[in-house]
Structure formats: structure tokens, C-alpha cells
Amino acid sequence: MNSKQTLQRMDAALGVAGKTLDGVIAALAHAVSKEGRIDGELSDAYQGEIFQIAQLHSALQAARQACIYGELGNLEARLALAFGGQTLADLRGRLPNLTLHIPNAGAQAADFAANEEAAALIRETSGETFNSAVWEMLRGAAGDGVDSLGEEHRLLRSTFRAFADKKVAPMAERFHRENLLIPDELIREVSELGCFGAGIPQAYGGFQDRVDHIGVVVVTEELSRGAMIFGSLITRPEILAKALLKGGTAAQKEKFLPAMASGEKMVAISVTEPDYGSDVAGIAITARQDGAGWRINGAKTFATFAGRAELIGLLTRSEPDPALGHRGLSLFVVEKPPFYGHEFEHVPDGGGRLTGRAIPTAGYRGMHSFELNFEDFFVPAENLVGGEEGRGKGFYLQMEGFTGGRLQTAARALGVMQAAYDQAKSYAKERKIFGRTLGDFALSREKLVRMAATVQAARQSVYATARLMDEGEGQMEASMTKFLLCRQAEWVTREAQQLHGGMGYAEEFPLSRLFIDARVLSIFEGAEEVLALKVIAPALLKRALH
């Protein structure tokens, strides 16, 4: 196989697939539009199709980025071809059924399903001959392809990888099995590396001399390789920092950002409520003015790290008129002392009470996720993000933060799947069964090659989105990347566990933890259904109409 020529053919075929999918999206857009606008009720009748379109479009964009990466070398090209071929096969198999109920879309899907070049590429980039050749390259390589980073980011990766290997990974199983809180000593050590300042400008004591989302991604991936909760340490300050940088007052930025960047103040984010999860605009917790501040009343749930955190980014309903919807929400910074147990109570100087109870979870342990109850809890007026100008803008500020949080969640997924693949590769090279190593079996090689290709395509998708965000764009792409990678992390960890057999299910092997941790990724920072139906697909449909 001439990898370079085949890569060019693959990129062209993916381009044809993209045009076909665009045609399907355009047909759906016209089916669900009324008076030139996408109609919500009409769209609801196609939720199944919309969800699949979001999946296929996200995978297709990752495959195109993988082809760019494939130009760096022979192994890189083979991994890009493996992922591209799988993406083509998925499109050809799913498009005909997907378009059954979309008017005027079936012919386009049928044409692509019969595309001979796509069929030829699928044959050439799959099967035992292809997989065997790629596995031999992977088995003999120190890594699995170049990282496509510049020198500065390679140094960053090396620094945080060494810390994760030496400090985080050895503790990961204890965090998980004993449900321990990450100790302050480790937080202090990682903060000295600049971890918490990765997304904060130098003017506020941070690590950034320019906008650098790839730096944040690299740090997050490497820490998550050691333990996903360590990658999660950065997510909450990243979300609040973006909101403060977007809409905070000068005084708020000076007060909070340096303390966050240094790791002096840990951060939690409190948005989800018992009755409102991804439906952020519907939240019910209230804030009412009282003298020199506000009184908060209501309940929140799944506020990760809220016990240990000194700062909580709290989204509340500050405007009593229910007709305002999301325009009636405001964002506050709640200050409190750290608590290290599974329950806490705090009474602020202005009166009222905040109580918290840690929620037992199957995985994602080490930070504790809390139920919070606010009873006339006093927050000073200066802690309303943006001051009076910020009233009613909390939803938009929170969404600004969530964009970075979703990119970071994708990076966490990347770290988890890389850790799982690394373990599977090592095990396949050493484990003997029926007189042969596990990697000598065709089915094992097929799994391992597809896993390696998926991880590398995922990485290039995250990098591409980070570059867009550096330019002030990429909001929809961040949601697509999060949507795609979190589902992929489930598959990669599942296959790694399967290759280990019973040992993969045993708690003494890290794969059982990786598999459980991967499962939560598609739920938090925007459930995958909500991202598909309310963020990704609407953007694609609106673009198709115009």
C-alpha cells in the first residue's frame, strides 16, 4: 500500500461523504423549517435522526483532521486510514436507514452507499492484512505516532506526564476504591507546575502569555492519564475563569483570578438542580436582594468538589419574572471555607446557612459531588459577576465557561482512553494464551489497531477545536468534540477491559476504574443527547438553511 496516495484518496472520499451528509442535513432542515426558521416542534419528530446526524458529522470532522495528521509519517497515515475507513463504513451502513423518514434525502444516501471508491477504501483499510501490518508498527514503536505539537507544548506534555506517572497514577486506585479526597499536598505540588493557571492570563497570575487552549488540553490529558479526577481539578477553575474574564468586573478579576491561578482557592461549579440538569434555563434556585447583598434559597446537586472548594460559581434566578427564562439568571461567586468530609455546614457573616452532603457515585471519586441546600444564604453584592451590569447575564456567562469546560472534558476523555489503550497494548504484547501472545490473534489486532486509530483521531479533533477557540471561535466544535470523544472513551475502555478478560473486571487492575470513570463523561458538562439536539444539530440545520 502506498500510504500517501491512499491517504489522498481517503481525504477525497471523506469530502464526498461530507457533501452527502450536508445534503441530508439540508433536506432535514427544510423538513423542519417554518417561514425560513427551524421549528422546535417539527424538529422533535426527528430527534432520532438528529442524534445520528450529530454523531456522523462529529466523526466525519475528526476523520478529516486525522487525514491532515496522517501526512506526518507512515504510521500516522495508517492510523488515519484506519479511522477514516471505519467512518466511511459507518456512514455507508447508517445513511440509508437514517434517511427513511427525511423527505428528499433517500436518493443521496443510496448514491453514497453505492459509491465504489468508498467501498474500495473500506476494503483496503480493514481486514487482517492491513491490521497485521499496522499492529507490527505499533508493537515496535515507543509511542503510537508523533504528537503533532510544537516544542513548547511538548515540554509541557513531558512535565505533566512525569508528574502524572510519579505522583498521580500510584494513588489513583486508592482515590477510587476508598473514595478519598485528593490530598492538599498533591494539589499544592500540581499547582506549583502552573496547572491552575493554564487558562488564566499572566496579568492575573496565570500561565498564559496568550490564549492557548492547546496548552490546557495537553495538561488535562496528561493528568487524566494518571487519574481522571486530576484532569477534573482544572475544569472548574477553567469554567469560572472564562466567565469572569468575559463578564466580571475589574475588581472581581483582581480578587478571584490570582487566587485561582495559584491554587490558593479551589473552585466548584453549581448549576445542576434536582429537577433541572442540562435544561439550564429552567433552574429554580432564587436570589433576592437584601440590603448590601443577596439571599440565596434553593437546592443544587452534583456540585463536584463543593465541600473542599473555597469558591463556588453559583447560577441562580435573580429576576422574579418567570417569563424572562434564561434572561433572568445571574452568576454569583460564593466564598466559603474548605471542608474535607462528606457533609458540611457553613454560616456566612451575613447570616443564612449552606449545607452539603456528598452523593455516593459508582466512579469519578476523589473530589466528591455534593447536594447543596441554601437557606437565606447571604452573598455580598460585589460577588454578583459583572455587578449590576451582570444581572440577567448569568446564562451567557455560564455558557462561555461551559465551552472551555466541554473542550476540557474531551481532553479528559482523551487521557482516559489513552491510559486504557496503553494498558491493552502492553497486555497484548505479554499475555500468552494457547501458546501465542494475545496480540498474535487477528481479532485482538483488529481491536488494538482500531483503538489506536480512535485515540489519535480523537487527539487531532481536540487540537483542531482548541486552535479554533484560540481564534475566538469553535463553540459548536467544542460541543461536537466533547460529544464524540466521550462516547469513544466508553468504547476504548470497554475493549481494553475485554482484552484483559477477567483481569480487566478485577479492581486490582486499573481498567475497571477507567471503564467506570469513562461512563460519566457523556453525562456531565452537557449530556450527549442535549448536545446533539440542542447545540450541534440546531447549528448544522440553521447553517443549511442559510
Q: Which residues are catalytic?
A: 525
- What are φ and ψ of residue 497, in 5° steps? -65, -40
SS3 annotation, 40-70: HHHHHCCHHHHHHHHHHHHHHHHHHHHHHHH
- Asked if 266 contacts 208 with a C-beta cutoff of 8 angstroms, the reply is no
Q: How far apart are CA 56 and CA 241, in angstroms?
A: 32
Beta bridge partners of 375: 353
- Asked if 58 contacts 536 with a C-beta cutoff of 8 angstroms, the reply is yes
What residue has cell string 463504513? 89
Within the chain, what is the greatest distance between any pair of CA atoms?
A: 78
- Asked if 242 contacts 402 with a C-beta cutoff of 8 angstroms, the reply is no
Buried b (16+ CB within 10 A) or exposed e, 56-88: bbbbbbbbbbbbbbbeeeebbbbbbbbbbbbbb
**Closest Cα to residue 51, out of 385, 492, 467, 538?**
538
Q: How far apart are CA 457 and CA 59, in angstroms?
A: 9
SS3 annotation, 179-193: CCCCCHHHHHHHHHC
Q: Residue 287 belongs to what H/E stretch? A: strand 286-290
Q: How far apart are CA 260 and CA 342, in angstroms?
A: 23
**Closest Cα to residue 362, out of 168, 192, 523, 176?**
176
Q: How many CB atoms lie within 10 A of CB 150?
A: 10
Q: How far apart are CA 507 and CA 509, in angstroms?
A: 5
Nine-digit cell string for 131: 491490521
**Closest Cα to residue 241, out of 385, 378, 379?**
385
Q: Between β-strands 267-270 and 329-335, what pairing exists: parallel, antiparallel or unpaired?
A: unpaired
Distance (Å) of CA 260 to CA 195, 267, 269, 319: 10, 7, 13, 29
- Asked if 372 contacts 327 with a C-beta cutoff of 8 angstroms, the reply is no
Sequence letter at residue 67: C
